[in-house]
Chains A and B, each alone.
Chain A
């Protein structure tokens, strides 16, 4: 179980607990549940790499405590 921090630099900073083998799509659903936006509207990036929905966190090498950027579609 890892905890990921998502920050949109406009005031929304959320910490989400998830498994390593969750996909980015699942992470978006968890974030959507916490922030209140729709999961389809959320975009998770790291610098200019937009993370794709079907790939797991483990494959993206996202570790515990790592920060991701939260953008909206």
Chain B
């Protein structure tokens, strides 16, 4: 019958490839007229023609959850299981962006982890616009690289649950993948060099691509260690400032920017120094530099540039002098920040999460996480 998978097709992830799409959505696709009329008896070649006619991507829409032609074609590909070369041809072709996305989607569903990263990452450089159908039936604008990012980072797209793939840094650690080279890398390096020239002492500007996905990379652990150490050396004020800076860094910029900022954040110096230029907290800067020097000494074992460490040591000696010289600076800014922090924390509690009844407090916490107001 028309809906049965090709008998010579391999099983994907241990099951019939069509089962990658869950039951309800699959049933909706089988009942769809586009599927019945256009997708009957398609082969790999004729599928290309149909794919070239696509003009939007999307999942199911409307009250009836009608599937889009894009989804029907994905289902057809799962059914006939084209060769890997054909799928790669789909991805490599430059003329038809929807064919490219179709190939990318299929590869994400069926390919191995290494393949997925290898073939989908070059598509990050494609900035063309795409039309996406929303669940309520309207269209919205998106771009090829946004869709690829969604495919690589999220586990659900176009109403189909994506299989789990390993995080990039895991694959890099095992050696199956190279470090990611972004097309914008030269721009970032220029920017970093400029910043370095502006500042007094040398910064660690290794490009740590490893943690550029939101995975829990070793770099994160380093941050955690740093946080732990900072408790020992400093008082609470600085920790709070830390958190603030880190969060601020996380929020600003997306994608590559964020990773770069995280890189910078790791040597929190950057941020601190910028603040200090604004507020002139010399004492903080000196303490910060000492702390970072210590941390960088620890991190040096793992860091990749060895040459810089020498210059850093030399600078460290100078910094000690400076620290003794400028020990007097107003403590007031710290107190004000403390106050602001306390108020901010109090505000959050007004959300209702400190309700005496634990059940209601729990419910309110859930609501706050979903973005809803507390229970009345």
Contacts and interface: CB of A to CB of B under 8 A. Distances in A.
Interface of A: 1, 17-19, 22, 26, 29-30, 33, 38, 40-41, 50, 72-73
Interface stretch (B259-267, B280-288, B325-333, B367-375): B367-375
Contact of B375 (A1, A38, A50, A73): A1
Nearest to A18: B375
Closest 6 CB pairs of A and B: A1-B375, A73-B65, A29-B370, A17-B363, A1-B376, A26-B372
Interface of B: 24, 60, 63, 65, 135, 156, 159, 359-360, 363, 366-367, 370, 372-373, 375-376
A38 B360 contact: no
B367 A30 contact: yes
Contact of A17 (B159, B373, B375): B375
Given A17-B363, A73-B24, A29 B372 contact: yes
Given A17-B363, A30-B366, A30-B367, A22 B372 contact: yes
A44 to B, nearest CB: 13
Contacts of B24: 41, 72-73
5 contacts: A1-B376, A17-B375, A19-B373, A26-B370, A72-B24
A30 B369 CA distance: 10
Nearest to B65: A73
A52 to B, nearest CB: 9
B31 to A, nearest CB: 14
Contacts of B156: 38
Contacts of B135: 40
A73 B376 contact: no
A24 B2 CA distance: 38
Nearest to A32: B370
B362 to A, nearest CB: 10
Nearest to B362: A17
A39 to B, nearest CB: 9
